[in-house]
Amino acid sequence: MNLPVSDEQGRYEQKTARALQTARLRLCKLKLWSNFNGFGFVLTAESERPGLYIDNVEDSSPAKAGGLQSGDRIIEVNRFL
């Protein structure tokens, strides 16, 4: 069933589809460490671009060990978009 989509939502979906077509996708698996508080990155959102992004990845952290880099865009977490 197709539901009506607002113009703004349609533009957002088109931009997202284009970004995914040109993106270099990587799978990063993170595990909590008993000797580290959290994962070692900051999650950011900006009004100018859709999505959630990784920032300030700490050296010697689960995030760094899992392959996250500052500027990475989150596409999926635990199979949820």
Q: How many distinct structural domains can be found in the chain?
A: 1
The domain in which residue 32 lies consists of 7-74
The pLDDT tens digits of the residues spanning 18-73 come to 766 776 788 888 999 999 999 999 999 988 888 899 999 999 999 999 999 999 98
Largest CA distance in the chain: 49
Tell whether pTM > 0.75.
no
Handedness of CA 46, 22, 39, 58 (dihedral sign): negative
pLDDT score, position 7? 74
pLDDT of residue 38: 94
Residue 60 DSSP one-character state = T
pLDDT at residue number 6: 66
Query: How much is the pLDDT for 2?
Result: 54
In a domain? residue 1 = no
- The enclosing domain of 12 has a CATH number of 2.30.42.10
